[in-house]
Amino acid sequence: MRLFEYEGREIFVKYGIKVSPAILVRSVEEASKAVETVGFPVVVKAQVLTGGRGKAGGVRIAANPAELIEDTGRLLGLVIHGEKTESVLLSKKIEIAQELYAGVTFDPQNGLPALMFSTSGGMDIEEVARTTPEKVLTMHLAPTQPLRAFRIVDFLRGSGLPSDLLPKIAQVLQRLVEAFHGSDATTAEINPLVITPQGEIMAIDSKMVIDDSALARQQITPRFEAGTPLETRARKGSLNYVQLEGNIAVLGSGAGLAMATMDMISYYGATPACFLDTGGGISSEKMAEAFRICLATPGVKGVLVNAFGGINNCEWMGRGLANVIDEDKPTAKILVKMRGHSQDEGWKLLEDRNIPIVKFGTTEEAVKQIVELVGKGA
Amino acid sequence: MAILINRKTKVLLQGITGKMGGLHTKYMLDYGVDLVAGISPGKGGAEVGGVPVYNTVPEALEHTAIDATLILVPPYAAKECAIEAIESGIKLVVIISEFVPIHDTAYVKQLAIERGVRIVGPNTIGVISPGKTKVGIMPGSIYSEGPVGVVARSGTLTHDIGATLTEMGIGQTTCVGIGGDPIRGMDFIDVLKEFAADEETKVVVMVGEIGGTGEELAAKYLEGGYPKPVIAFIAGQTAPAGKKMGHAGAIISGGTGSSASKYAALAKAGVTVAKTFSEMIAAVREALAAEEARKKQLLGKSQAAGI
């Protein structure tokens, strides 16, 4: 889950990284009052989760109270890449001698955290890395070993910065790595990290992404990303659901299986209405909710259930489907391909309700059958 | 032969007294798995389905040898269980648990590399060598013994490919679910190396999905020359960009990780790419027939030469 800039700054402070003084406000009135603690000139920054905020006009500089009222009023409610600005951060304008970049993320190639540093901070770092890769220093970290300060100083020698700055910057990087581990981040980034004319090192922005699987132990309440009402409903039920444009809903007991089913529906000339992956641990209630969401998907004419009883159990899954059939009496065409643990019990529940089942056939055969039942029209 | 696990593999179940532990103890025993012990701290001395329960892995090791362990515990407990198994010297650790934090996986993966231990998962169905044994939660009945090695990211898709091959009369040496998370223990390359060295495996089926770089890295490895035919299917050909398709790792972002780029990389490496299961089956049949013909030819030559 992405954090807002102000939330990331709170984590930086907790780990001893110096940040520019700032205060969060949600209205023009609050801004006029709060600015006293920060002082003019002040940087007014829209708090949105999407990237490219600066380019979209989400950052302004106010030199006096009149400008502050104008800038805050303009930014609050501003829609940036589809996301409405609900709050702004008033941040003291810092004198900058040099802008740096510092970040930690996982390298998908080897599963190790990678610490990255560049003296070309303040701009699009992905662009810097693409066009001038030599300007971004990278060091892989072993999660089983503590990160020693001397290792970072050694790493920073390649940056060309003067020696007297290296230990100071190394300390910030060490704390950033601690924040990365301690807050279960998948990305922890400071861009820019600035050197002031007085030689102070300070973070003036933050980008943090927290691992969704670790939110509970970090005691972070999940924020649901914007989606259709059915997508939001599915997330609340711990179901992975993506609404699409076609007429055949795909309900799979795993992501790969559901995707492969979708692919073959398209291959045979029809279009999927949605992708729904139940994940593991399906109770009959969870299956019923998944099935109801598929049936409620706009434009749906048929539902293909493709499920395995591995970690799951066909009887529980069958009961969930059967309950919806009994209670809701759906009119869409339904085809169930289900195999695995307790399959006979699961099949019987559906056979009793005259639901067609693919018992031993392949996913491809099931796809051909549902496309036949529903027709190819979208 | 087969890879990673065989008939003689002695298996441990960490989390045996949980609801899932009890269920899968039964399923594994039914399949003929040599399930030698289970772990549940505080419940040492108990039995589940006739399998003795110990408090710790070292305690279990006082009573039996253990070759592989299956970890079936809540996500936040998986790291400690894996560390316990690795530090106790178990050489194959299969982590079934879903939603294990990435930092925990990264730690366990690194520790395993340092100790020469193999990790499968997390977020996996595990490993099965059909007709021999399984260290996993898959329904054994849908797999069958034969010459094809299967390696896949998605669990239920592994089931489906196994079931489809079985339906078509094609058995498998070993099927490995490497897991749906962005960071995982064994990756495609590690499993491909095992299959390369396994005499029984004649053809390898590789099942990828959108997101990440595992398939592209595998393609680079295969480009260097591989002794067996490889057939690949990538799920998510019709997935929209920017939407997370279930698995944490399954997302096309900024044009990378698409099925098109993976198919292209694999095709360049000499892999036969299949867009549907029937294309995949046809390619497997063809590769097996070619292998058969080659064997006959060799046999003919050696007979002619009087060897």
Residues B96, B195, B271: CA angle, nearest 5 degrees: 105
- Per the CB < 8 A criterion, the answer to whether B199 and B172 are in contact is no
pLDDT tens for A219-262 read 999 887 778 899 999 988 889 999 999 999 999 998 999 999 99
- A109-to-B111, B180, B267 alpha-carbon distances in Å: 17, 15, 21
Cβ of A263 within 8 Å of Cβ of B236? The answer is yes
Answer whether A77 touches B (CB < 8 Å). no
Bridge-partner residues for A303, per DSSP? A249, A334
Closest residue in A to B239 (Cα) is A259
Distance CA B180, CA B183 (A): 9
CB atoms within 10 A of CB A107: 16
- Nearest by Cα to B206 from B225, B187, B223: B187
- Per the CB < 8 A criterion, the answer to whether A85 and A79 are in contact is yes
pLDDT given for residue B306 in this prediction = 65
pLDDT given for residue B301 in this prediction = 77
Q: In the block, which residue shows the tokens 């307790």?
A: A342
* Residue A159 pLDDT greater than 80, yes or no: yes
Distance CA A7, CA A209 (A): 11
pLDDT given for residue B255 in this prediction = 59
Answer whether B217 touches A (CB < 8 Å). yes
Answer whether A66 touches B (CB < 8 Å). no
Tokens standing for residue B14: 């960490």
- Per the CB < 8 A criterion, the answer to whether B170 and B204 are in contact is no
A240 to chain B: which residues are within 8 Å by CB?
244-246
Answer whether B235 touches A (CB < 8 Å). yes
pLDDT given for residue A133 in this prediction = 84
Domains of chain A: 21-92 (3.30.1490.20), 98-214 (3.30.470.20), 229-374 (3.40.50.261)
Mean pLDDT of A131-136: 86
* Residue A329 pLDDT greater than 80, yes or no: yes
pLDDT tens for A267-301 read 999 999 999 999 877 899 999 999 999 999 999 99
CB atoms within 10 A of CB B45: 8
pLDDT tens for A256-273 read 999 999 999 999 999 999
Res. A341 pLDDT band, cuts 50 70 90: confident
Q: In the block, which residue shows the tokens 């690194």?
A: B110
Distance CA A320, CA B85 (A): 37
Distance CA B72, CA B124 (A): 11
**H-helix or E-strand containing B219?**
helix B214-223
pLDDT given for residue B82 in this prediction = 98
- Per the CB < 8 A criterion, the answer to whether A147 and A177 are in contact is yes
pLDDT given for residue A376 in this prediction = 67
- Per the CB < 8 A criterion, the answer to whether A174 and A181 are in contact is no
Which of residues 257 through 296 in chain B touch A, CB cutoff 8 A?
275-278
* CA contacts within 13 A on the Cβ side of A185: 27
Gap between the terminal Cα atoms of chain B: 26
- Nearest by Cα to A228 from A243, A238, A240: A243
Answer whether A346 touches B (CB < 8 Å). no
Tokens standing for residue B106: 């990264």
Tokens standing for residue B31: 């399949």
Mean pLDDT of A1-18: 97
Distance CA A4, CA A185 (A): 13
- pTM of this prediction? 0.92
**H-helix or E-strand containing A80?**
strand A79-80
Q: In the block, which residue shows the tokens 């009369």?
A: B169
pLDDT given for residue B206 in this prediction = 97
Answer whether B98 touches A (CB < 8 Å). yes
Distance CA A353, CA A41 (A): 72
Tell me whether strands A272-277 and A357-358 are parallel, antiparallel or unpaired: unpaired
Q: Buried b / exposed e across B82-115, counting CB within 10 Å, b at 16+?
A: bbbbbebebbbbbbbbbbbbbbbbbbbbbbbbee
- Per the CB < 8 A criterion, the answer to whether A50 and A83 are in contact is yes
Average confidence (pLDDT) per 10 residues, chain B, 307 residues: 94 95 95 98 96 98 98 97 98 96 98 98 96 95 96 93 95 96 95 97 96 92 96 93 73 74 95 95 96 85 70
A130 to chain B: which residues are within 8 Å by CB?
none
Dihedral, CA of residue A239, residue A244, residue A248 and residue A252, to nearest 10 = -30
**H-helix or E-strand containing A322?**
helix A314-328
**H-helix or E-strand containing A285?**
helix A284-296
Amino acid at B176: V
B236 to chain A: which residues are within 8 Å by CB?
259, 263
Three-state SS at B177: strand
pLDDT tens for A86-113 read 999 999 999 999 999 999 999 988 999 9
Q: Which residues contact A70 (CB under 8 A, 6 or more apart)?
A: A62
Helices A255-267/B155-167 angle, 10° precision: 60
B240 to chain A: which residues are within 8 Å by CB?
242, 244
Annotation says B247 is catalytic:
yes
Q: DSSP character for A279?
A: -
**H-helix or E-strand containing B274?**
strand B272-274
A266 to chain B: which residues are within 8 Å by CB?
237-238
Bridge-partner residues for A275, per DSSP? A242, A250
Tokens standing for residue A165: 């700055």
Domains of chain B: 1-124 (3.40.50.720), 138-307 (3.40.50.261)
Q: In the block, which residue shows the tokens 């039964």?
A: B26
Tokens standing for residue A256: 């790969």
Q: Which residues contact B146 (CB under 8 A, 6 or more apart)?
A: B130, B165, B170, B171, B172, B173
Cβ of B164 within 8 Å of Cβ of A363? The answer is yes
DSSP for B33-83?
-EEEEEE-TT-TT-EETTEEEESSHHHHHTT---SEEEE-S-GGGHHHHHH
- Per the CB < 8 A criterion, the answer to whether B52 and B10 are in contact is no
Answer whether B22 touches A (CB < 8 Å). no
Q: Which bin fits A251, alpha (ψ -120 to 50), beta or left (φ > 0)? A: beta
Q: DSSP character for B251?
A: -
Tokens standing for residue B190: 């590690």
Closest residue in A to B30 (Cα) is A341
CB atoms within 10 A of CB A187: 17
Answer whether A234 touches B (CB < 8 Å). no
Instruction: Give backbone dihedrals phi and psi of A18, rounded to 5 degrees, phi first.
Output: -70, 130
pLDDT given for residue B11 in this prediction = 98
B109 to chain A: which residues are within 8 Å by CB?
111
For residue A346, the distance in angstroms to the closest alpha carbon of chain B comes to 14
- Nearest by Cα to B176 from B224, B239, B218: B218
Q: Which residues contact B48 (CB under 8 A, 6 or more apart)?
A: B16, B17, B21, B22, B25, B38
Distance CA B23, CA B227 (A): 40
Mean pLDDT of A327-334: 95
Q: In the block, which residue shows the tokens 């609340």?
A: A236
For residue A197, the distance in angstroms to the closest alpha carbon of chain B comes to 37
Which of residues 30 through 69 in chain B touch A, CB cutoff 8 A?
none
A124-127 long-range CB contacts below 8 Å, 24 or more apart? A125/A101, A125/A191
Cβ of A263 within 8 Å of Cβ of B235? The answer is yes
